[in-house]
Amino acid sequence: MKRAAEKQLLNWYQSTGRKPLILKGARQVGKSTLVRNFAKANSLKLMEINFEKTKLVSLHREEFNLKDVLLEIESVFQEKITQTTLLFLDEIQTDPRAIWALRYFYEERPDLAVIGAGSLLDVALEASGIPFPVGRISYFHLGPMTFSEYLIASGKEQYAKCVLDGDLKDYNHERLLEELKKFMFIGGMPKAVLTFIETSSMEEVRKVHQDIFLGYVNDFPKYGKRLNLDRLEHVFQKIPMQLGKKIIFQHLDRESKSIENKKAFEILVKAGVILPAYHTDASGIPLKASIDHTISKAYFLDTGLVNHVHELSWNSFNELFDGELSTKGLLAEQFIAQHLAFPIDGSSPPELLFWLRDKSNQKAEVDFILQREMTIVPIEVKSQKGGHLKSLIYFSKEKNISEAIKFSKEFVGLETLDVGEGKTLKVRNFPLYAVESIMR
Protein backbone atom coordinates (compact mmCIF):
# COMPACT_ATOMS: atom_id res chain seq x y z
CA MET A 1 0.00 0.00 0.00
CA LYS A 2 1.25 3.43 -0.97
CA ARG A 3 2.65 5.57 1.85
CA ALA A 4 3.45 9.27 1.61
CA ALA A 5 6.73 8.52 3.41
CA GLU A 6 8.09 7.01 0.17
CA LYS A 7 8.58 10.56 -1.10
CA GLN A 8 10.60 11.43 2.01
CA LEU A 9 12.75 8.34 1.54
CA LEU A 10 13.42 9.42 -2.04
CA ASN A 11 14.46 12.88 -0.83
CA TRP A 12 16.84 11.19 1.61
CA TYR A 13 18.22 8.83 -1.04
CA GLN A 14 18.91 11.66 -3.50
CA SER A 15 20.35 14.08 -0.95
CA THR A 16 24.01 15.09 -0.91
CA GLY A 17 25.90 14.15 2.23
CA ARG A 18 23.43 11.33 2.82
CA LYS A 19 23.67 9.62 6.20
CA PRO A 20 22.40 6.18 7.20
CA LEU A 21 18.69 6.48 7.94
CA ILE A 22 16.91 5.00 10.92
CA LEU A 23 13.17 4.39 10.65
CA LYS A 24 11.59 4.64 14.09
CA GLY A 25 8.07 3.63 14.97
CA ALA A 26 5.95 1.17 16.89
CA ARG A 27 5.61 -2.40 15.72
CA GLN A 28 3.16 -3.05 12.90
CA VAL A 29 3.07 0.51 11.50
CA GLY A 30 4.59 -0.70 8.23
CA LYS A 31 8.31 0.16 8.42
CA SER A 32 9.55 -2.96 6.62
CA THR A 33 6.91 -2.81 3.90
CA LEU A 34 7.69 0.86 3.33
CA VAL A 35 11.36 0.11 2.65
CA ARG A 36 10.57 -2.85 0.38
CA ASN A 37 8.08 -0.81 -1.66
CA PHE A 38 10.54 2.08 -1.89
CA ALA A 39 13.31 -0.18 -3.18
CA LYS A 40 11.00 -1.75 -5.75
CA ALA A 41 9.62 1.59 -6.96
CA ASN A 42 13.15 2.97 -7.48
CA SER A 43 14.72 -0.18 -8.99
CA LEU A 44 17.15 -0.64 -6.10
CA LYS A 45 18.68 -3.99 -5.23
CA LEU A 46 17.41 -4.65 -1.71
CA MET A 47 19.61 -6.57 0.71
CA GLU A 48 17.45 -7.08 3.79
CA ILE A 49 18.86 -8.48 7.00
CA ASN A 50 16.43 -9.18 9.83
CA PHE A 51 18.44 -9.31 13.05
CA GLU A 52 15.78 -11.42 14.73
CA LYS A 53 16.68 -14.15 12.23
CA THR A 54 20.28 -13.42 11.21
CA LYS A 55 23.36 -12.63 13.27
CA LEU A 56 26.38 -10.96 11.68
CA VAL A 57 29.45 -12.41 13.39
CA SER A 58 31.78 -9.70 12.09
CA LEU A 59 29.82 -7.02 13.97
CA HIS A 60 30.99 -8.44 17.28
CA ARG A 61 34.69 -8.87 16.68
CA GLU A 62 36.90 -7.02 19.13
CA GLU A 63 38.68 -5.26 16.26
CA PHE A 64 35.75 -3.96 14.22
CA ASN A 65 36.27 -3.71 10.47
CA LEU A 66 33.45 -2.48 8.21
CA LYS A 67 34.95 -4.23 5.20
CA ASP A 68 34.55 -7.56 7.00
CA VAL A 69 30.89 -6.74 7.73
CA LEU A 70 30.20 -5.97 4.07
CA LEU A 71 31.98 -9.15 2.97
CA GLU A 72 29.83 -11.17 5.37
CA ILE A 73 26.66 -9.54 4.03
CA GLU A 74 27.72 -10.37 0.48
CA SER A 75 28.31 -13.95 1.63
CA VAL A 76 24.80 -14.13 3.12
CA PHE A 77 23.19 -12.98 -0.14
CA GLN A 78 25.74 -14.56 -2.48
CA GLU A 79 26.01 -11.37 -4.50
CA LYS A 80 28.02 -8.18 -4.60
CA ILE A 81 27.04 -4.86 -3.04
CA THR A 82 26.83 -2.23 -5.79
CA GLN A 83 25.97 1.44 -6.21
CA THR A 84 22.31 0.51 -6.63
CA THR A 85 22.17 -1.59 -3.46
CA LEU A 86 19.91 -0.57 -0.61
CA LEU A 87 21.10 -2.23 2.58
CA PHE A 88 18.16 -2.69 4.96
CA LEU A 89 18.93 -3.63 8.57
CA ASP A 90 15.56 -4.61 9.99
CA GLU A 91 14.75 -5.18 13.68
CA ILE A 92 18.05 -3.46 14.34
CA GLN A 93 17.20 -3.01 18.01
CA THR A 94 17.79 -6.76 18.43
CA ASP A 95 21.52 -6.11 17.98
CA PRO A 96 22.45 -2.67 19.36
CA ARG A 97 25.98 -3.25 18.07
CA ALA A 98 24.56 -2.81 14.56
CA ILE A 99 23.20 0.62 15.54
CA TRP A 100 26.63 1.56 16.88
CA ALA A 101 28.22 0.43 13.60
CA LEU A 102 26.16 2.87 11.54
CA ARG A 103 28.74 5.60 12.27
CA TYR A 104 31.29 3.62 10.24
CA PHE A 105 28.93 3.31 7.30
CA TYR A 106 28.67 7.11 7.34
CA GLU A 107 32.41 7.70 7.76
CA GLU A 108 33.79 4.98 5.49
CA ARG A 109 31.03 4.17 2.95
CA PRO A 110 28.87 7.28 2.48
CA ASP A 111 28.14 6.07 -1.04
CA LEU A 112 26.20 3.07 0.29
CA ALA A 113 22.49 3.64 1.05
CA VAL A 114 21.71 2.13 4.46
CA ILE A 115 18.38 2.04 6.30
CA GLY A 116 17.90 0.61 9.77
CA ALA A 117 14.46 0.02 11.26
CA GLY A 118 13.29 -0.90 14.71
CA SER A 119 10.48 -0.48 17.17
CA LEU A 120 12.28 -0.45 20.52
CA LEU A 121 15.48 1.38 19.64
CA ASP A 122 15.63 3.76 22.59
CA VAL A 123 14.72 1.00 25.04
CA ALA A 124 17.31 -1.38 23.60
CA LEU A 125 20.12 1.17 23.60
CA GLU A 126 19.36 2.28 27.13
CA ALA A 127 19.51 -1.33 28.32
CA SER A 128 22.73 -2.10 26.43
CA GLY A 129 24.62 1.04 27.39
CA ILE A 130 25.76 1.47 23.77
CA PRO A 131 25.76 5.14 22.69
CA PHE A 132 23.76 6.33 19.70
CA PRO A 133 25.97 7.54 16.80
CA VAL A 134 24.82 11.14 17.19
CA GLY A 135 25.38 13.36 14.16
CA ARG A 136 26.11 10.44 11.87
CA ILE A 137 22.58 9.22 11.17
CA SER A 138 19.25 10.65 10.03
CA TYR A 139 15.84 9.72 11.39
CA PHE A 140 12.35 9.21 10.07
CA HIS A 141 9.47 8.68 12.49
CA LEU A 142 6.67 6.61 10.99
CA GLY A 143 3.16 6.40 12.39
CA PRO A 144 0.02 4.53 11.33
CA MET A 145 -1.53 5.12 7.93
CA THR A 146 -3.32 8.43 7.55
CA PHE A 147 -6.88 8.90 6.36
CA SER A 148 -5.71 9.87 2.86
CA GLU A 149 -3.48 6.79 2.67
CA TYR A 150 -6.47 4.65 3.63
CA LEU A 151 -8.52 6.30 0.87
CA ILE A 152 -5.80 5.62 -1.71
CA ALA A 153 -5.49 2.00 -0.58
CA SER A 154 -9.27 1.68 -0.88
CA GLY A 155 -9.21 2.88 -4.50
CA LYS A 156 -10.67 6.30 -3.73
CA GLU A 157 -7.81 8.43 -5.04
CA GLN A 158 -10.03 11.37 -5.97
CA TYR A 159 -11.31 11.67 -2.43
CA ALA A 160 -7.74 11.47 -1.16
CA LYS A 161 -6.68 14.27 -3.51
CA CYS A 162 -9.51 16.48 -2.24
CA VAL A 163 -8.51 15.78 1.37
CA LEU A 164 -4.82 16.47 0.76
CA ASP A 165 -5.29 19.58 -1.38
CA GLY A 166 -8.00 21.08 0.78
CA ASP A 167 -10.29 21.14 -2.26
CA LEU A 168 -13.37 20.34 -0.19
CA LYS A 169 -16.77 20.15 -1.88
CA ASP A 170 -20.09 20.13 -0.06
CA TYR A 171 -21.42 17.37 -2.31
CA ASN A 172 -18.59 15.07 -1.13
CA HIS A 173 -19.06 15.85 2.55
CA GLU A 174 -21.43 13.07 3.55
CA ARG A 175 -19.53 10.52 1.48
CA LEU A 176 -16.27 11.48 3.14
CA LEU A 177 -17.91 11.28 6.57
CA GLU A 178 -18.91 7.70 5.73
CA GLU A 179 -15.33 6.87 4.82
CA LEU A 180 -14.13 8.65 7.95
CA LYS A 181 -16.44 6.49 10.05
CA LYS A 182 -14.92 3.34 8.55
CA PHE A 183 -11.39 4.61 9.03
CA MET A 184 -11.98 5.62 12.64
CA PHE A 185 -13.11 2.08 13.39
CA ILE A 186 -10.45 0.32 11.30
CA GLY A 187 -7.63 2.67 12.22
CA GLY A 188 -4.38 3.11 10.36
CA MET A 189 -2.49 -0.06 11.20
CA PRO A 190 -1.61 -1.38 7.71
CA LYS A 191 -2.62 -4.96 8.46
CA ALA A 192 -6.07 -3.82 9.60
CA VAL A 193 -6.53 -1.65 6.50
CA LEU A 194 -5.40 -4.45 4.18
CA THR A 195 -7.71 -6.94 5.91
CA PHE A 196 -10.70 -4.67 5.37
CA ILE A 197 -9.80 -4.11 1.72
CA GLU A 198 -9.46 -7.84 1.12
CA THR A 199 -12.46 -9.07 3.16
CA SER A 200 -14.80 -6.07 3.70
CA SER A 201 -15.34 -7.64 7.13
CA MET A 202 -15.17 -5.53 10.28
CA GLU A 203 -15.13 -8.74 12.32
CA GLU A 204 -11.91 -9.78 10.60
CA VAL A 205 -10.52 -6.29 11.23
CA ARG A 206 -11.32 -6.66 14.92
CA LYS A 207 -9.31 -9.91 15.01
CA VAL A 208 -6.34 -8.03 13.57
CA HIS A 209 -6.68 -5.37 16.28
CA GLN A 210 -6.62 -8.07 18.92
CA ASP A 211 -3.53 -9.70 17.42
CA ILE A 212 -1.65 -6.40 17.25
CA PHE A 213 -2.63 -5.45 20.79
CA LEU A 214 -1.54 -8.82 22.17
CA GLY A 215 1.67 -8.52 20.17
CA TYR A 216 2.48 -5.30 22.01
CA VAL A 217 1.78 -6.94 25.37
CA ASN A 218 3.94 -9.93 24.44
CA ASP A 219 6.76 -7.49 23.65
CA PHE A 220 6.81 -6.09 27.18
CA PRO A 221 9.48 -8.54 28.44
CA LYS A 222 11.81 -7.02 25.84
CA TYR A 223 11.44 -3.58 27.44
CA GLY A 224 13.82 -4.38 30.30
CA LYS A 225 14.48 -7.00 32.95
CA ARG A 226 13.76 -4.78 35.94
CA LEU A 227 10.26 -3.75 34.90
CA ASN A 228 7.06 -4.84 36.58
CA LEU A 229 5.25 -6.32 33.58
CA ASP A 230 1.85 -6.32 35.28
CA ARG A 231 2.15 -2.59 35.97
CA LEU A 232 3.28 -1.90 32.42
CA GLU A 233 0.29 -3.76 31.01
CA HIS A 234 -2.09 -2.03 33.43
CA VAL A 235 -0.91 1.44 32.34
CA PHE A 236 -1.03 0.31 28.70
CA GLN A 237 -4.68 -0.75 29.11
CA LYS A 238 -5.58 2.38 31.06
CA ILE A 239 -4.41 5.06 28.62
CA PRO A 240 -7.18 4.38 26.02
CA MET A 241 -9.68 4.97 28.83
CA GLN A 242 -8.05 8.32 29.67
CA LEU A 243 -7.74 9.85 26.21
CA GLY A 244 -7.28 13.59 26.30
CA LYS A 245 -7.48 13.82 30.08
CA LYS A 246 -4.85 15.36 32.30
CA ILE A 247 -2.74 12.49 33.58
CA ILE A 248 -2.56 11.90 37.31
CA PHE A 249 -0.07 9.06 37.54
CA GLN A 250 -1.46 7.75 40.80
CA HIS A 251 -4.83 7.18 39.08
CA LEU A 252 -3.32 5.02 36.35
CA ASP A 253 -2.75 2.24 38.87
CA ARG A 254 -3.89 2.98 42.42
CA GLU A 255 -2.01 -0.03 43.74
CA SER A 256 1.31 1.43 42.57
CA LYS A 257 3.33 4.52 43.39
CA SER A 258 3.07 7.53 41.10
CA ILE A 259 6.76 7.38 40.23
CA GLU A 260 6.42 3.74 39.13
CA ASN A 261 3.40 4.52 36.95
CA LYS A 262 5.27 7.46 35.45
CA LYS A 263 8.20 5.21 34.58
CA ALA A 264 5.85 2.74 32.87
CA PHE A 265 4.23 5.61 30.97
CA GLU A 266 7.59 6.96 29.78
CA ILE A 267 8.69 3.53 28.57
CA LEU A 268 5.48 3.13 26.57
CA VAL A 269 6.12 6.55 25.02
CA LYS A 270 9.64 5.41 24.04
CA ALA A 271 8.15 2.28 22.52
CA GLY A 272 5.90 4.48 20.38
CA VAL A 273 2.58 3.01 21.49
CA ILE A 274 1.52 6.13 23.43
CA LEU A 275 1.47 9.63 21.96
CA PRO A 276 2.30 12.19 24.67
CA ALA A 277 0.86 15.69 24.86
CA TYR A 278 2.37 18.39 27.09
CA HIS A 279 1.10 21.70 28.38
CA THR A 280 2.59 24.84 26.89
CA ASP A 281 2.00 28.29 28.32
CA ALA A 282 1.90 29.49 24.69
CA SER A 283 3.11 32.94 25.65
CA GLY A 284 5.32 33.25 22.60
CA ILE A 285 7.41 31.62 19.89
CA PRO A 286 8.81 29.01 20.08
CA LEU A 287 6.05 27.11 21.84
CA LYS A 288 8.47 24.50 23.14
CA ALA A 289 10.24 27.15 25.22
CA SER A 290 7.28 27.15 27.60
CA ILE A 291 6.53 23.42 27.79
CA ASP A 292 5.74 22.01 31.22
CA HIS A 293 6.39 18.27 31.09
CA THR A 294 4.81 17.80 34.52
CA ILE A 295 1.39 18.59 33.02
CA SER A 296 0.52 16.03 30.39
CA LYS A 297 -2.17 14.01 28.72
CA ALA A 298 -1.92 11.15 26.28
CA TYR A 299 -3.40 9.51 23.24
CA PHE A 300 -2.99 5.99 21.94
CA LEU A 301 -1.16 5.07 18.77
CA ASP A 302 -4.27 4.33 16.72
CA THR A 303 -8.05 4.70 16.74
CA GLY A 304 -8.62 1.06 15.79
CA LEU A 305 -6.67 -0.16 18.81
CA VAL A 306 -8.63 2.24 21.03
CA ASN A 307 -11.86 0.68 19.81
CA HIS A 308 -10.47 -2.74 20.65
CA VAL A 309 -9.70 -1.71 24.24
CA HIS A 310 -13.17 -0.19 24.59
CA GLU A 311 -14.63 -3.44 23.20
CA LEU A 312 -16.65 -1.54 20.62
CA SER A 313 -18.18 -3.65 17.88
CA TRP A 314 -18.78 -2.14 14.44
CA ASN A 315 -22.53 -1.98 15.10
CA SER A 316 -22.00 -0.11 18.39
CA PHE A 317 -19.48 2.22 16.84
CA ASN A 318 -21.79 2.88 13.91
CA GLU A 319 -24.47 4.15 16.28
CA LEU A 320 -22.04 6.17 18.38
CA PHE A 321 -20.54 7.90 15.37
CA ASP A 322 -23.87 9.54 14.64
CA GLY A 323 -24.34 10.27 18.34
CA GLU A 324 -21.49 10.75 20.78
CA LEU A 325 -18.72 9.47 18.46
CA SER A 326 -17.50 7.15 21.23
CA THR A 327 -16.70 8.26 24.75
CA LYS A 328 -18.16 11.74 24.22
CA GLY A 329 -15.95 12.76 21.34
CA LEU A 330 -12.58 11.61 22.63
CA LEU A 331 -12.16 9.33 19.63
CA ALA A 332 -12.41 12.43 17.43
CA GLU A 333 -9.52 13.88 19.45
CA GLN A 334 -7.62 10.63 19.02
CA PHE A 335 -8.08 10.82 15.25
CA ILE A 336 -6.75 14.39 15.12
CA ALA A 337 -3.93 13.58 17.55
CA GLN A 338 -2.48 10.72 15.54
CA HIS A 339 -2.46 12.90 12.43
CA LEU A 340 -0.89 15.93 14.12
CA ALA A 341 1.69 13.89 16.06
CA PHE A 342 3.76 12.80 13.06
CA PRO A 343 5.29 15.64 10.99
CA ILE A 344 5.05 15.20 7.23
CA ASP A 345 8.84 15.14 6.89
CA GLY A 346 9.16 12.59 9.73
CA SER A 347 11.98 14.59 11.26
CA SER A 348 10.90 14.65 14.88
CA PRO A 349 9.36 12.15 17.30
CA PRO A 350 5.61 12.35 17.96
CA GLU A 351 4.83 15.04 20.48
CA LEU A 352 1.71 17.13 20.91
CA LEU A 353 1.12 20.41 22.73
CA PHE A 354 -2.00 21.70 24.46
CA TRP A 355 -2.96 24.53 26.80
CA LEU A 356 -4.55 24.11 30.21
CA ARG A 357 -5.84 26.51 32.83
CA ASP A 358 -6.64 24.52 35.92
CA LYS A 359 -7.86 27.26 38.23
CA SER A 360 -10.89 26.40 40.33
CA ASN A 361 -12.80 29.52 39.30
CA GLN A 362 -11.96 29.40 35.60
CA LYS A 363 -11.04 26.05 34.09
CA ALA A 364 -10.18 25.98 30.40
CA GLU A 365 -8.36 23.71 27.98
CA VAL A 366 -7.47 24.04 24.31
CA ASP A 367 -7.09 20.58 22.80
CA PHE A 368 -4.02 21.24 20.67
CA ILE A 369 -1.64 24.14 20.09
CA LEU A 370 0.41 24.32 16.88
CA GLN A 371 3.18 26.61 15.77
CA ARG A 372 3.34 27.51 12.10
CA GLU A 373 6.34 29.76 11.46
CA MET A 374 5.67 32.78 13.71
CA THR A 375 1.99 32.04 14.28
CA ILE A 376 0.37 30.25 17.23
CA VAL A 377 -2.64 28.20 16.16
CA PRO A 378 -5.11 26.94 18.82
CA ILE A 379 -7.20 23.93 17.80
CA GLU A 380 -10.44 22.63 19.28
CA VAL A 381 -11.96 19.27 18.36
CA LYS A 382 -15.69 18.65 18.58
CA SER A 383 -17.45 15.41 17.73
CA GLN A 384 -20.78 17.09 17.07
CA LYS A 385 -22.03 20.20 15.38
CA GLY A 386 -21.97 23.34 17.45
CA GLY A 387 -20.59 23.02 20.96
CA HIS A 388 -19.35 25.79 23.22
CA LEU A 389 -15.96 27.36 22.63
CA LYS A 390 -15.36 29.05 26.00
CA SER A 391 -11.81 27.71 26.27
CA LEU A 392 -10.88 29.25 22.92
CA ILE A 393 -12.31 32.56 24.07
CA TYR A 394 -10.29 32.47 27.30
CA PHE A 395 -7.15 31.55 25.39
CA SER A 396 -7.69 34.22 22.73
CA LYS A 397 -8.24 36.92 25.31
CA GLU A 398 -5.23 35.95 27.43
CA LYS A 399 -2.78 35.36 24.56
CA ASN A 400 -4.10 37.99 22.16
CA ILE A 401 -4.85 35.40 19.45
CA SER A 402 -7.30 36.44 16.74
CA GLU A 403 -7.76 33.18 14.79
CA ALA A 404 -8.36 29.55 15.71
CA ILE A 405 -9.33 26.25 14.12
CA LYS A 406 -12.16 23.92 15.03
CA PHE A 407 -12.42 20.38 13.71
CA SER A 408 -15.84 18.76 13.76
CA LYS A 409 -18.27 16.83 11.57
CA GLU A 410 -19.51 20.11 10.09
CA PHE A 411 -18.50 21.31 6.65
CA VAL A 412 -16.21 24.31 6.16
CA GLY A 413 -17.40 27.45 7.87
CA LEU A 414 -16.38 30.60 9.73
CA GLU A 415 -17.61 31.81 13.10
CA THR A 416 -16.73 35.16 14.66
CA LEU A 417 -16.79 35.27 18.46
CA ASP A 418 -16.80 38.29 20.73
CA VAL A 419 -13.98 37.94 23.29
CA GLY A 420 -14.57 41.29 24.97
CA GLU A 421 -12.73 44.60 25.02
CA GLY A 422 -13.74 45.18 21.42
CA LYS A 423 -11.81 42.14 20.16
CA THR A 424 -13.05 39.19 18.14
CA LEU A 425 -11.88 35.66 17.46
CA LYS A 426 -12.32 34.11 14.03
CA VAL A 427 -12.89 30.36 14.34
CA ARG A 428 -12.43 28.52 11.07
CA ASN A 429 -14.30 25.23 11.05
CA PHE A 430 -13.01 22.28 9.06
CA PRO A 431 -14.38 18.76 8.86
CA LEU A 432 -12.31 16.22 10.79
CA TYR A 433 -11.18 14.57 7.59
CA ALA A 434 -9.44 17.79 6.44
CA VAL A 435 -6.71 17.62 9.09
CA GLU A 436 -4.02 16.61 6.61
CA SER A 437 -4.61 19.58 4.33
CA ILE A 438 -4.44 21.88 7.37
CA MET A 439 -1.08 20.37 8.32
CA ARG A 440 0.18 21.14 4.82
Q: The domain containing residue 56 runs over which residues?
A: 5-141
Residue 119 φ then ψ, to 5°: -110, -15
Shared-domain flag, residues 284 and 400:
yes
Determine the pLDDT at residue 327. 45
Buried b (16+ CB within 10 A) or exposed e, 70-96: beebeeeeeeebeeebbbbbbbbbbbb
**Residue 221 maps to a domain:** no
Between CA 122 and CA 143 the distance in angstroms is: 16
**Residue 188 maps to a domain:** no
Residue 425 · residue 404 · CB < 8 Å:
yes
Residue 407 φ then ψ, to 5°: -105, 135
Shared-domain flag, residues 302 and 410:
yes
Shared-domain flag, residues 130 and 259:
no
Shared-domain flag, residues 240 and 106:
no
Shared-domain flag, residues 17 and 117:
yes
**Residue 120 maps to a domain:** yes
**Residue 115 maps to a domain:** yes
**Residue 182 maps to a domain:** no
- H or E stretch including 353? strand 352-359
Determine the pLDDT at residue 165. 92
Shared-domain flag, residues 27 and 134:
yes
Q: What is the pLDDT of residues 27-44, one digit of tens each?
A: 999 999 999 999 999 999
Q: List the one residue out of 388, 398, 396, 387 whose CA is nearest residue 424.
A: 396
Shared-domain flag, residues 12 and 124:
yes
Shared-domain flag, residues 271 and 414:
yes
Shared-domain flag, residues 383 and 257:
yes
Q: What is the pLDDT of residues 243-267, one digit of tens each?
A: 988 998 888 877 778 888 898 899 8
Q: Choose the final residue of a domain: 96, 122, 141.
A: 141
Q: What spatial distance separates the first Cα and last Cα of the chain, rounded to whole Å?
A: 22
Shared-domain flag, residues 133 and 270:
no
Give all strands (DSSP E) within 54-210, no chain letters. Answer: 85-90, 113-118, 138-141
CATH number at residue 47: 3.40.50.300
Determine the pLDDT at residue 348. 85
Shared-domain flag, residues 430 and 298:
yes
- Those residues of the chain that have pLDDT short of 70 are 224-226, 323-329, 360, 384-387
Q: Choose the final residue of a domain: 87, 110, 141.
A: 141
Shared-domain flag, residues 97 and 244:
no
Q: Choose the final residue of a domain: 112, 141, 170.
A: 141
Determine the pLDDT at residue 142. 96
Between CA 186 and CA 203 the distance in angstroms is: 10
Determine the pLDDT at residue 261. 87
**Residue 205 maps to a domain:** no
**Residue 201 maps to a domain:** no
**Residue 150 maps to a domain:** no
Domain count, the chain: 2
